[in-house]
Structure 1
Amino acid sequence: MKAIYDTGRIILRAFEDTDAEAAKKFWGDEEVMRYCLGATPHDKLPLILKAYRECHEAKGLSVYAVVEKETETVMGACGFNVSGEIQEVELIYHFAKSSWGKGYATEAAKACLEIARGNSGVKRIHASVDPNNLDSYKILEKIGFVYAGKEWFEDTAQEESVYEMRLG
C-alpha cells in the first residue's frame, strides 16, 4: 500500500481493485449516499475504482481510498473529481457509517487540501452540498472553505450550496 498522504491515523492511497468490497459500505450504501443520488450499483464499483486510479496516474489528483491505519480497513473515499484541467477541482468525501462521528472526514479533507496545495496547477477547489446535509456544511467550514452561493444542479434537480477555496 503506497500512501499518498499519511496523517498518522489514516492513509490516503490510490484505489486498488480489491477495494470494491469495502466501497460497498460507502458508495454502495443507500443511507450514506442519500444526499448524492443514492447508492452506486455494486457492479459499477470496480469501474469507478479503476477510473479514480487512472485519474491519479494521469493528473496527479483524484479521489482516494481512506484507510484506517490501525485496522488497515478502507473506510471511505476522499479527494477530487477532476473534469478537464486541474485548475478547478471538486472536493468530495464519503464514509462508511461505522466511521461516522470520529473526525475522519475532516481529517481526510484536510489531507486532500495539502495534496492540492502541493500541486501548483490547482487554483480553485469547490464543493456542493445538499441543503439537508448539515454535517457536510460543518466539515467544509471547519477546513476553511467559504460559502460562494447557491447553484442549481441538473443531476440532483435541486439548488445546492456551493463552497470554495482559492489556492492561486
Structure 2
Amino acid sequence: MIVITETERLILKVFENSDVEAMKTFWGDREVMEQCNGAIPHEHLVKVQEGYSKCHDVNGLSVYAVVEKESGNVVGAAGFNVQDINEPVELIYHFAKSVWGKGYATESAMACVKYAEQHPKVKKVFASADPNNKGSLKILEKIGFDYIGMKWFDDTNQEEPYYEKSIK
C-alpha cells in the first residue's frame, strides 16, 4: 500500500486492483454519481483504477483511494484529475452513500490541497460541481477556493460554478 497522506480519520493511498470492488459503492453507484455524468459501468472500473495508479506513477499526483481508518474500508476517492502537470489540476471527491454526512469530503479535500502544495509543479487547483450540489460547493468555499464564475463543461454538458485556489 502506497500511502499519500493521512488525516485524523482517513488514509489517502494509491488505488490498487483490490480496491475495484469498493469503487462500485461510489463511482459505480447511480445515486452517488447522479450529478457527475452518471455511474461508471462496473466492468470499466478496473481501467479507471489502472489509469489513476499510472497517473500517480507518471505525475506524482492523481486521484486516490480514501480509506476510513476505523473500518479499514475504501469509502471514497479524492485527489486530482491531471491533464498536464504544468496546467491547473482538477480537485475531485466522491464518497459511498454509507459515509455521507461524516465530513470525509471536506477532510480529504483539505488533505489533497496540502499534498498538492508540496508538489513542485502544481501552481493552481480548480474545481467545479453541479449547480444543484450545494454540499460540494460549500466544501470548496470552506477549504479556501475562490469562486470565479460559471463555466461551461463539455463532459457534463452544462454550466457549473467554477472555483480556483492558487498553491504557489
User: Is 2:113 the partner of 1:121?
Assistant: no
Q: What is the 5 A alignment of 1:12-161?
A: 12-161=12-161
User: Following TM superposition, by how much is the alpha carbon of 1:152 offset from its aligned partner in structure 2, in angstroms?
Assistant: 1.1
Do the aligned residues in 2 keep the contact of 1:151 with 1:161 (CA within 8 Å)? Answer: yes
* TM-score (norm. length: structure 1): 0.97
Mapped to 1, the partners of 2:6 and 2:154 lie a distance apart of 36
User: Following TM superposition, by how much is the alpha carbon of 1:57 offset from its aligned partner in structure 2, in angstroms?
Assistant: 0.8
Q: Which amino acid aligns with 2:106?
A: T
SS at match of 1:53: helix
Structure 1 residue runs of 5 or longer lacking an equivalent are none
Query: Can you list the C-alpha shifts for 1:103-154, whole angstroms capped at 9, x where unaligned?
Result: 0000000000011000121011000111100000111011000101111112
Mapped to 2, the partners of 1:135 and 1:58 lie a distance apart of 32
Q: Which amino acid aligns with 1:136?
A: S
Mapped to 2, the partners of 1:90 and 1:54 lie a distance apart of 17
Using the aligned pairs only, state the percent identity. 57
Q: Which residue of 2 aligns with 1:10?
A: 10
Structure 2 residue runs of 5 or longer lacking an equivalent are none
Q: Which amino acid aligns with 1:94?
A: H
Structure 1 vs Structure 2 CA RMSD:
0.8
* TM-score (norm. length: structure 2): 0.97
Mapped to 1, the partners of 2:167 and 2:127 lie a distance apart of 14
Distance 1:86 1:67, change over 3 A: farther
Mapped to 2, the partners of 1:102 and 1:77 lie a distance apart of 15
User: Following TM superposition, by how much is the alpha carbon of 1:70 offset from its aligned partner in structure 2, in angstroms?
Assistant: 1.2
Number of paired residues? 168
